[in-house]
Amino acid sequence: MRLTVAALVLVVCACPVAGQTRQQGPWWPHPIWGASDQAGGSNWITPEKILQALQLVKTGRVIELGQVYEAGMPLFGQRTFSLTIPTADSGAFGSNRLVGNDEFIVGELGQVGTQFDGPGHIGTRLTMADGTTQDIYYNGVPWSEMAGRYGLAKLGVEHIKPIITRGVLIDIAGYKGVPTLPGNYEVTVADVRGALARQGQSEADLRPGDALFFNYGWSALWRRPREYAASQPGIGLEVARWIVERKPAMVGSDSPGLEVTPNPNRTLAYPVHQELITKNGIWNQENLQFEELLAERAYQFLFVFTPIRFKGATGSPGRPIAIR
């Protein structure tokens, strides 16, 4: 997902410009989990929800949904990833002549590859009731409370609970009858409902705490980084607001940004990220792959992803899996 200064600025005509305070704003405190919450949608992952999801497992087969982290994978902008094995010979240890290797990784680990966006990743610049301009994040937390030299003081990804839930794959590309949606295509609510119906499902089947995934066919371009990172298909605000009504724990897609990029309304910078993450605490995972699930027409499955608890990080790498 492209993150620039502009991405943190919500257009004046699209949001309130005054009246909000630290205690009360247009989307905070969270109506269910309260003013102190930092876990957002992962709060839906209760023992009861996990037990329900476990009932989907029939064979125990594991399907990888993430991409391999490696040199040459698509990276947005100037983000980096490098892994090297130090070559200095440290000798052999003990009478058994033990030798070994370590790795040295340099990169923006929370925001490259199959990445998970946490609560401190996206915010909105607002004019407050006292006339000050502040950058506000999930649950009304201002940047002044988050700022930290060695990680965020609040809203770090370590607050996200392990996500073990029912995954629901919505095959938009399949519904449209194409292997890959064209760049700039905005997925509509009609598309989502049509895709669900094609799969023998409906929006009434969705439950709070589910993980909702959108297949655009975009992972077919993973080995062609320039095309992969160019203009992308995805959902817009219409579908984002539909998602909010469903109350999922998280969403995900096989694109680098989930939402249509650039937005058809060129005055808006990544409004879907703001609607889901900042305003509603619905977390987002990008750069997934669904080929095996699609080949088996497996649209429901046990989904497992546990964000790495990097204290103060904006996101997390990881290994998302489906179990059937």
pLDDT digits (tens, 9 = 90+) for 171-186: 999 999 999 999 999 9
Domain residue spans in the chain? 35-71+112-117+155-323
Fold of 35-71+112-117+155-323: Glucose Oxidase; domain 1 (3.50.30)
What share of residues in the chain are helix, strand, coil (percent, to 5)? 25, 20, 55
What is the distance between the terminal CA atoms of the chain, rounded to a whole angstrom? 30
Based on its alpha-carbon atoms, the radius of gyration of the chain, rounded to whole angstroms, reads 20
Structure letter (DSSP) for residue 185:
P
Which pLDDT score is estimated for 18?
61
Q: Is the dihedral of CA 145, 24, 10, 33 positive or negative?
A: positive
Give the Cα separation of 218 and 181 in Å (integer).
Answer: 7
Confidence of residue 8 (pLDDT cuts 50, 70, 90): very low
**pLDDT band with cut points at 50, 70 and 90 for residue 6:** very low
Residue ranges of E strands in 211-298 = 211-215, 234-235, 250-253, 283-285
Structure token digits, residue 1? 């997902």
Could you give the CA distance from residue 263 to residue 95 in angstroms, rounded to a whole number? 64
* Residue range 250-299, pLDDT digits in tens: 999 999 999 999 999 999 999 999 999 999 999 999 999 999 999 999 99
The pLDDT of residue 90: 75
Band of pLDDT at residue 26, cut at 50, 70 and 90: very high
Mean pLDDT of the chain: 92
State the pLDDT confidence band at 5, using cuts at 50, 70 and 90: very low
Q: Residue 234's pLDDT is what?
A: 98
- H helices of 24-87, in order, are 47-54
Distance CA 191, CA 166 (A): 21
* DSSP for residue 62: E
Q: Give the pLDDT score at 77.
A: 79
Residues in Cβ contact with 255 at an 8 Å cutoff, skipping those fewer than 6 apart: 216, 218, 232, 233, 234, 286, 287
Q: What is the DSSP string of 13-32?
A: GGS--S---SS--SS-SBTT
pLDDT at position 298: 97
pLDDT tens string 54-74: 999 999 999 999 999 998 888
Shortest CA distance to 285 belongs to which of 71, 42, 107? 42
Determine the Cα–Cα distance for residues 266 and 125; give it in Å rounded to an integer.
Answer: 18
Per-residue model confidence (pLDDT) at position 216: 98
pLDDT tops 50 at residue 239: yes
Average pLDDT over residues 218-227: 93
**100 vs 160, more confident:** 160
Nearest Cα neighbor of 276 from 265, 267, 286, 262 is 286
Which has more pLDDT, 127 or 19?
A: 127
Burial class of residue 324 in the structure, from the number of CB atoms within 10 Å of its CB (0-12 exposed, 13-18 middle, 19+ buried): middle
